Amino acid sequence: MKKESFVYGSILLVIINFIVRIIDFTYDVMLSKFLGAEAMGLFQMAMSILMIFLIISTVGIPTAVSRLVAEQNSRKNHYTIDKILKVALFITLFLSILFSLIIIIFGENIALRVFRDKKMTLALYLLIPAIVVISISSILRGYYYGLKLIMVPSVSQIIEHVTRFVIILGFLYYNYPVEPKYGAFIAIAGISIGEVFDLIWLTYMLKPWKRKPRHVESNKIYTRTVVGQILPIAMPIGISGLLNVILRFINSILIPQNLVKIGYTNGEAMATFGRITGMTMPLIMLPFIVTSAMVINLVPNLSEQMALKNYRNVRHNIMFSIKITLMAAIPLTGLYIFFSEPLGFFLYGDLEVGKFINIMAYGTIFMALQHTFSGILNGLSKHIMVTLNRLLGMIVQVLAIYFLVGNPRFGINGFFIGFLSAGMVTFILDIVTIRKVIKLKIDYMDIILKPLLATIIMVLTMDNGIKLFYGYYSNVWIFLFNLIIGVLAYIFVLYTTKAIPKKPFRKLIEG
């Protein structure tokens, strides 16, 4: 039953996450069309700063809250659950306010060093509400996940993305065109607008779910005890997340600066950076629709099964997660490699983006597996190894950017070399670490060859279907129609080869 519960929960989260990611992806595409590459570059630089402050202010606490609340909920210890929530909220609120004050005091210096423009100080001030609100929301989400109230945080994310989508894109539509700098300001303000609606929903839903049973003396727990339970779980996860954000921040500084050194203008360098981070990367990270759901479900599930020494379920859940990840990542990789130019043109009206999609496509599988492996290793209590593996990958990428991007022989190709190399290094280290903890019996035919065969048929179906029409790749509707046909062909092949786990899907639909 535990095995089936994990599968059903994962599938349900994938479906919900799919809705959220589609809204978010559509928002990113439309935002890039309204703002342009240069404004997207400015926006992504601001986002890098925001993520650094968010990672430091939450330091992995949401995941710790989720695990501790789940443990206490199984014991029906409501007093300790409330205590965990209050302590986590206090720590996070204190840190977020502290970092907001740092932005207020040093905002001008940060703007001059990062953006090289004093006027961009306003962009940093616009991040302050987002830091506070997102930090609180993340704790509340961890609390709900711990109680297994999955629908509450899922609905909150849909509310956040829909409100931001409507308000910001509506405003840009009626005020189009806007200068790149002011367009970036509007996009940054949109982060806080969506998150405020998210927080209102999460706070409102606390009332019906919070139960106040009479507490007996034996249930009481000191604040310092709760802090002592949260920090050992939160710190390694926080450091791992911080490494990712630091890498993003370093990219936002080094890539434009090194491109300027080899002859790019500031505008061209920022536009190139915007094409990579704001246009190409959202496509490469589309498998996160699946892996994000997996990670949410994996950490508490694997921790519980390892504690019970139920290694059979542990192996099953790990292999199921890897299989579903590859079923999402392999077809997307094929799509990006063979149809990169029409994707770049139809989505962004920018042929240069198509070239970037084609090159970075080869990192799609590594990025997806890296995300799933982080959930597996955290669930296996290998938090430190997650951090070390990603640190080594980060070092590879930073070295490539530092030494190659500023070299006229490589230019922006230096980033692509670093991106792909870092993905492979982290992938190999994660595989070695997992195999040291638990032996896995891998059915390569089922998890790799079947999705690969289905992907080949999908690509051939799309290519031949498009060629039947005289418009070839020049018509967006022809491309979309054949994309749908190709996806259906992919699913059909998976179904006929029994790669799709039919029983869980059938029971999920019937239930």
Per-residue pLDDT of the chain (511 residues), as tens digits, is 455 556 666 667 777 777 887 887 788 778 877 877 777 777 777 777 777 777 666 667 887 887 788 777 767 777 888 888 888 889 888 888 888 888 888 877 877 776 666 767 777 888 888 888 888 988 898 888 777 777 788 888 888 888 888 888 888 888 777 777 777 788 888 888 888 888 889 888 886 545 444 444 445 676 777 777 777 777 777 777 777 777 777 777 888 888 888 888 888 888 888 888 878 888 898 888 778 777 777 776 776 677 667 888 888 888 888 988 999 899 999 999 999 888 888 888 777 888 999 999 999 999 999 989 988 887 787 877 888 888 898 889 889 988 998 888 898 899 999 999 999 999 999 999 998 888 888 888 889 999 999 999 999 999 888 877 755 556 778 888 888 999 999 999 998 888 876 554 454 444 3
Question: What type of residue sits at position 79?
Answer: Y
| 122 in a structural domain | yes
How far apart CA 383 and CA 74 sit, in angstroms, is: 23
| 323 in a structural domain | no
Supply the DSSP symbol for 214.
Answer: P
Q: pTM for the full model? A: 0.72
User: CA triplet 80, 85, 46: central angle to 5 degrees?
Assistant: 160
Instruction: Say what the pLDDT of residue 458 is.
Output: 94
| 444 in a structural domain | no
How far apart CA 285 and CA 71 sit, in angstroms, is: 32
| 49 in a structural domain | yes
How far apart CA 52 and CA 114 sit, in angstroms, is: 13
| 471 in a structural domain | no
Q: Is the peptide bond between 129 and the residue preceding it cis, with omega within 30 degrees of 0?
A: no
| 137 in a structural domain | yes
Supply the DSSP symbol for 474.
Answer: S
| 362 in a structural domain | no
Instruction: Say what the pLDDT of residue 508 is.
Output: 40
| 50 in a structural domain | yes
Q: How many domains does the chain have?
A: 1
Place of tokens 């920022």: 270
Q: What is the domain extent for residue 88?
A: 36-236
